[in-house]
Chains A and B, each alone.
Chain A
Amino acid sequence: MGLELYLDLLSQPCRAVYIFAKKNRIPFELRTVELLKGQHRSDAFAQVNPLRKVPALKDGEFTLAESVAILLYLSRKYKAPDHWYPEDLQARARVDEYLAWQHTALRSSCTRAMWQKMMFPVFLGERVPPETLASTLAELDSCLQLLEDKFLKDQDFLTGPHISVADLVAITELMHPVSAGCQIFKSRPKLAAWYKRVEAAVGEDLFQEAHAVVMKAKDLPPADTAMKEMLKPLVQVLLR
């Protein structure tokens, strides 16, 4: 059995891994783990990732969790072109810096924005207090400002003149609120231009393919009682 990637393209970090693997022509078996059906909670999946999260990788006997770790593993093992994770000391540090920061910053606000704006009302039929949504969108806005001011600045890509794994991780996050109808690029021309550059560098077809599932999330049929029950613990966390 070759390389297996356990993914649900609904999830941002899964999309980053998918795009990276496809773009670099890394051969893999796609194992879909449907989050909304709770498949990540199964005992079978726990054998692959005891943390019960996606993405996860299985390479022979070796299993690996965490998208950042997976991206770096793939780039090393398959000797991806240098720009993805540059050898240069300072350029690499810039990528590491972004990859570390985003866990508690952009990741958090993008997930909550998408769920609070769309998944709760449309999919779960749950009301989100307007103050909560407003606060989340304000937080997202601050993160986007930091993304522009501290990371992108006047560069073509987040960490320099070339696309890196940092851009993949960031763009896939931003597509989450976009899928919920948040017009995050409307008043941010600099970020919008960066988005176009990333999409072009990845390839429009691959980019669209990776985002097909999340862009259709608003058309999901409402969750049934069983699904709602299963997603209850998530509801608490995402309503902050």
Chain B
Amino acid sequence: MGMELYLDLLSASCRAVYIFVKKNNIPFDFQFVDLLQGHHHSKEYMEINPLKKLPSLKDGNFILSESVAILLYLCRKYSAPSHWYPPDLHMRARVDEFMAWQHTAIQLPMSKILWIKLLIPMITGEEVPAGKTKEILDEVNKNMQLFEEKFLQDKMFITGDNISLADVVALVEMMQPMAGNHNVFHNSPKLAEWRTRVELTIGSGLFLEAHERLKKLTEWDCSTLDPTVKERVSKLLQKFK
């Protein structure tokens, strides 16, 4: 058994890892862990990752979670071209800086938009109050602005002329709200251009393939959802009220 990656491409973190391994021709076995079926909570998966999160990597006896850690591990182990994680002290620091900031500034709020705009209404039949929705959208807009002004600035990519891990991680997360019909790029031509540039550099075919499952999320028949999961989502809705 070669290296295994436990993934569901609905998750932005999984897409970042998937895109990276495919782009760099790194051989792996795709182990599908269906988030919609709650398989990340299964006993089998908890033996792989007690944190019950995706993605996970299993390389022989070595098991690793956290997409940022996985990306860095893969970069090193497979000696990926240096632009992905530049050796220059300052450029590398910029990648680290973005990868640290994005957990709470980009990933979390982008994921919240998807819940608010699609998943909660779909599962509970109720809408999240407009005030709360606006609050989260304002936070996202503010952080997109910070992303543009501090991380991207007038460069082609976050570290300069070449794509790095930071651009891939950023873009896949910013795609998450698309499934909720929300486009975070439409306010900024500069960000829209960066998006296209990153997509083309990755390869449109690979990019589309990675986002296929997310695109189809609106077609998901959630009537088969486990009642306990539905219960948890209803509780989540209460938190937003």
Contact = CB atoms under 8 A, between A and B. Distances in A.
B164 interface: no
Contacts of B92: 72-73, 76
A77 B90 CA distance: 10
A97 B57 CA distance: 11
Interface stretch (A17-25, A98-106, A172-180, A222-230): A98-106
B161 interface: no
Contact of B100 (A67, A76, A94, A149): A67
A89 interface: yes
A220 B65 CA distance: 40
B157 to A, nearest CB: 17
Contact of B69 (A50, A72, A100): A100
B238 interface: no
Interface in B42-98: 50-51, 62, 64-70, 72-73, 76-77, 89-90, 92-93, 96-97
A51 B98 CA distance: 11
B61 to A, nearest CB: 10
Contact of A50 (B65, B100, B150): B150
A156 interface: no
Given A65-B101, A76-B89, A101 B149 contact: no
Contacts of A149: 50
A34 interface: no
A68 B99 CA distance: 9
A84 to B, nearest CB: 15
A70 to B, nearest CB: 8
B23 interface: no
B100 A150 contact: no
Contacts of A62: 90, 93
Contacts of B97: 64-66, 69
B241 interface: no
Nearest to A236: B135
A138 interface: no
Contact of A97 (B65, B77, B99): B65
Interface of A: 50-51, 62, 64-69, 72-73, 76-77, 89-90, 92-94, 96-97, 99-101, 103-104, 146, 149-150, 240
5 contacts: A72-B96, A99-B100, A100-B66, A100-B67, A146-B51
